[in-house]
Structure formats: C-alpha cells, structure tokens
Amino acid sequence: MSLPLFSFIFAMWVLIIIGGGLMVVFIGPLSFSGDLDPLINSGAKVLIAMILIFIWVLALLKIKNWIFRKIVNP
C-alpha cells in the first residue's frame, strides 16, 4: 500500500522540479519585442506561468486519482 503513495509523492516532486526548471529556463528570459510597457511584459509572463501551474495541478490530480483508485480497487 505504501508503494503507490510513495510513487505519487515522487511524481509530484518530479513535476515540481520540471515545472520550476521550465519556468526559469523559458519564461524568465522571455521578452516580447516592441515598445511594450514592462508591466504588460511581466503580466504576460505571469499569465503563461499560471497556465503552466494549472496544467501541472491537473496532471497531479489525474495521477493521484489513478494511483488511489488502484489502492481502493485492487
């Protein structure tokens, strides 16, 4: 019973590390060309980051449901 729980925790940490790395590598240096206000540029970065966080949370929910469904219904 503890193996699925530990695998969920491991998957959660892997997604957190990958998500943080993606944000630092791709979103951090991202800059939109043109004469945009720095506030709009930062707002666009925040929007992209929030979308990625939403996708990561949905992925974790799917993994959690899949693992705990296996525990309840062996």
d(CA 33, CA 21): 24
pLDDT in tens, 31-40: 777 777 888 8
d(CA 49, CA 14): 17
Is 35 part of any domain? no
pLDDT of residue 26: 84
pTM tops 0.85: no
Helices and strands, number each (H, E), in the chain? 2, 0
pLDDT of residue 1: 55
- For residue 20, give its domain range: 2-30+42-72
Is 37 part of any domain? no
Is 36 part of any domain? no
Please count the structural domains in the chain: 1
pLDDT of residue 5: 77
Is 68 part of any domain? yes
